[in-house]
Structure 1
């Protein structure tokens, strides 16, 4: 199809309580969540979930009001029950990455004024921390007395505190309200609709992992499989047989490498290439045999996979084209925690390679001096206790994303770089390193790349794919060919190779500032 069509229609909800009740009334016996404990598969219906949230909400209402309650845990059913209950009981959920070190966790707890803490017993690093708070194991969150709901005082504006994990290393505490989140659910669900069961594998302390891969499918009354470990993803995919999954680019790249690795191992590389070519030819005349031709690949995803929604960082369009050729649609999107988080996403039947999709319903986008500005009810309340930082990004009703981009004539948004990464040469020339990185990343030998400036010259550092490690002459030739096609100010003066990946944050984004510290020391980047 790949042509414009109407928004998907559905109601705009006003509260999490309404979201909970809506699905309970719509289809109480349908399975809402599936997960594993050891090797046993557990199913929880929308009725089960409604009861669990109601009991815990009543308990929290009797115990706390407008309290900041932190969750530090791996993905779990109890995590979602607790999240809903904190919000419905007029408290504030503070979501913290379980993999942070002790000092970082202590800092975030203090920054957010947290008083109550639910934690996973699987993380012994927390032992010294939990003694300083009202602390409870999340595994026992449903082992509570059944209480009647108590009337609560007026609710705080914010409902959730997310910590950004950008590429600067500095964490900001983003305040989102129920209205923010529900507006974004409404807007994003008007653009994209899952067509069956959903696989949730991204960490819930990220807005993308929780709001996009849990709350939005929940709104659509789908069944959601909760994966709690990267080690069990392939096993869990085969058990859950999802239609849709939500990932960051690292997952796509890993899946891609594994497919070709398996083909090489089984001496079927030529056959796979031939089948892809045949599949594309058949599609041109309206014959779609992709699911049959690539059955073994589909089976590794459970056999029913149709959509993979990808966001969080740049994704090379070559992956989108490859997976489409074997019958799996990767729909790239763009989001930012401060916008709850989805701003744009490619649609089920209307997409454009290289873009991050159509603007979600309810969001107003403006491009000012190449920067993407966002206005709408999904835009955050602000940064917690940081008016200065808030005022820097919220101006005239618009959130200044810090991302450069443009919108084409058909309304597709394209990202071209980050404002803070902009290189300004002595002649006044402004260069987005991401544009050069994208161009060079198309080469099969490049795994990761950073383009940076030193002494008014553009330099590149590359982490090669395994079979090209140490092959300096190949990359010298690559840069020579690139330089011959571009203006002098965009040419790379020197390329260096590295033997290990670039430093990344927990969302697998490359930390440019850490890289520059590696090269030149702290304070010299």
Structure 2
């Protein structure tokens, strides 16, 4: 089943459409108050007047206020600037200088402008660069991915053919806008469809926000899905989520399979999006009508995905224009129109994509055994009593041995026996076992740090 979706080619067209269709509808609410779609539109037009007079090509957003981040981001794009989405505490690359930094100090000057007319704006070329988003994997250095409005809009619009938003639907905004998944799933998608966003002051107030705003859906990292599941298990009351939550969408890392099953049992559909910054970012998503556990669903309609030597390759209108100031790396990663993701995977018999791990994470042990650690971790994470696992190589002995780190607050001999059985089946025995209660270390993109 595919939903009907209106297609826009530029942010300005989408903004005009949202104003015409949803003018008086609530768009945003946070601790500072509420605003309608009409108010949001006017704030963007104020900012656009400022950016029309600005000579700098690159705009860097250093804003804590997520509403104003959204305003400035769209205003900069529709006035032909290139916005750089930098993770927190990330230094501006030297080859991006001089960049114009929009921080809290400059906001007053920007927002004091008189709104301009949309007639003063010329629709930009949707294929030209509009955003540079920085990709950060579990071990690789950050890379600037150059993206166009076409990349981002096609990704959002085609994704919504599978995972849909509805007019008036309430979302809690959790994902930071410097993260591309946040821009597409928590800004472009909801704005396109007329959704209402509520932004808590921090994730500390997440559960209070749910009770107050009664969201229908939330986009979140898998770690927060685990926390949500634990809360539901402890309360056994769906009203702790506000009583209206029907689905969540996770990305950035695999969802714990036990978490997924438990959420489904509570009537919350646990959907997964698979993607990379280089692909704007969504490549595949599980439909919000039903899910195939253990998969990331089918590729979105505007991409072609194929498997070559076990690696997932992606082609289509969402693949980036290239890496910023790095033509050599672009040529290495995009060959004959296909982006080599570095992820290992396959299609199941129903055409659903299964992602098994990173090609770069392949482990080779002293006894000659090779494995993709994510496959083993996925099996172990499905065992009761295990919160998460990390498989890595230990070089402290005469030869490289498997070392398994298990996060568990209730580890016992029964769990140990099941873990040992899995490790023997995978030819990873003997192994070094470490039990801890602390969560695994993650980077700014919520991915486990393996090294």
Tell me how far 1:225 sits from its aligned partner.
1.7
Tell me how far 1:496 sits from its aligned partner.
2.4
Counterpart Cα distance in 1 of 2:149 and 2:380 = 42
Q: Which moved more, 1:18-27 or 1:421-430?
A: 421-430
Give the TM-score normalised by structure 2. 0.91
Counterpart Cα distance in 1 of 2:430 and 2:256 = 21
2:405 aligns to what? 462
Q: Is the 8 Å Cα contact of residues 74 and 203 (structure 1) preserved in structure 2?
A: no
**What secondary structure is seen at the aligned counterpart in 1 of 2:128?**
coil
**What secondary structure is seen at the aligned counterpart in 1 of 2:442?**
coil
Show the 5 A alignment for 1:91-490. Answer: 91-98=81-88, 100=89, 105=90, 107-120=91-104, 136-138=105-107, 141-146=110-115, 157-168=128-139, 170-195=141-166, 196-260=169-233, 262-263=234-235, 297-425=237-365, 430-454=370-394, 457-468=400-411, 476-484=416-424, 486-488=425-427, 490=428
2:443 aligns to what? 505
The 3 A distance-change label for structure 1 pair 111 and 212 is farther
Post-superposition CA distance 1:348-380 (Å, at most 9, x none): 213201111121111110111111111111111
The total of aligned residue pairs comes to 444
1:56 aligns to what? 47
Give the TM-score normalised by structure 1. 0.79
Counterpart Cα distance in 2 of 1:315 and 1:139 = 41
**What secondary structure is seen at the aligned counterpart in 2 of 1:8?**
coil
Q: Is the 8 Å Cα contact of residues 451 and 461 (structure 1) preserved in structure 2?
A: yes
1:10 aligns to what? 5
The 3 A distance-change label for structure 1 pair 305 and 235 is same
Tell me how far 1:145 sits from its aligned partner.
4.4
Q: Is the 8 Å Cα contact of residues 49 and 114 (structure 2) preserved in structure 1?
A: no
Counterpart Cα distance in 2 of 1:153 and 1:350 = 38
**What secondary structure is seen at the aligned counterpart in 1 of 2:5?**
coil
The 3 A distance-change label for structure 1 pair 138 and 420 is farther
Post-superposition CA distance 1:16-68 (Å, at most 9, x none): 0001001111221111222222xxxx222121122221221122112236x10
The 3 A distance-change label for structure 1 pair 85 and 450 is same
Post-superposition CA distance 1:368-407 (Å, at most 9, x none): 1111111111111111001122122111101111111111
Task: Give the greater-gyration-radius structure (CA).
Answer: 1
Structural RMSD (CA): 2.4
Q: Is the 8 Å Cα contact of residues 402 and 420 (structure 1) preserved in structure 2?
A: yes
Q: Is the 8 Å Cα contact of residues 445 and 464 (structure 1) preserved in structure 2?
A: no
Counterpart Cα distance in 1 of 2:101 and 2:55 = 12
Q: Which moved more, 1:342-351 or 1:156-165?
A: 156-165
Q: Is the 8 Å Cα contact of residues 12 and 123 (structure 2) preserved in structure 1?
A: no
Tell me how far 1:240 sits from its aligned partner.
1.7
Tell me how far 1:160 sits from its aligned partner.
0.7
The 3 A distance-change label for structure 1 pair 32 and 479 is closer
Counterpart Cα distance in 1 of 2:121 and 2:15 = 19
Q: Is the 8 Å Cα contact of residues 187 and 362 (structure 1) preserved in structure 2?
A: yes
Counterpart Cα distance in 2 of 1:302 and 1:139 = 36
Q: Which moved more, 1:78-87 or 1:406-415?
A: 406-415
The 3 A distance-change label for structure 1 pair 487 and 309 is closer
Counterpart Cα distance in 1 of 2:419 and 2:258 = 20
Tell me how far 1:251 sits from its aligned partner.
0.3
The 3 A distance-change label for structure 1 pair 438 and 480 is same
Counterpart Cα distance in 2 of 1:432 and 1:173 = 27
The 3 A distance-change label for structure 1 pair 391 and 228 is farther
The 3 A distance-change label for structure 1 pair 408 and 163 is same
Counterpart Cα distance in 2 of 1:153 and 1:487 = 56
Counterpart Cα distance in 1 of 2:101 and 2:348 = 46
**What secondary structure is seen at the aligned counterpart in 2 of 1:467?**
coil
2:21 aligns to what? 26
Counterpart Cα distance in 1 of 2:55 and 2:408 = 52
**What secondary structure is seen at the aligned counterpart in 2 of 1:446?**
coil
Q: Is the 8 Å Cα contact of residues 365 and 375 (structure 1) preserved in structure 2?
A: yes
The 3 A distance-change label for structure 1 pair 492 and 182 is farther
Q: Is the 8 Å Cα contact of residues 46 and 115 (structure 2) preserved in structure 1?
A: yes
Counterpart Cα distance in 2 of 1:303 and 1:394 = 45
Specify every segment of 5 or more residues in structure 2 that has no aligned partner in the other structure, as ranges: none
Specify every segment of 5 or more residues in structure 1 that has no aligned partner in the other structure, as ranges: 121-135, 264-271, 273-296, 514-525
Counterpart Cα distance in 2 of 1:111 and 1:325 = 51
Counterpart Cα distance in 2 of 1:501 and 1:92 = 37
Counterpart Cα distance in 2 of 1:492 and 1:14 = 56
Q: Which moved more, 1:433-442 or 1:13-22?
A: 433-442
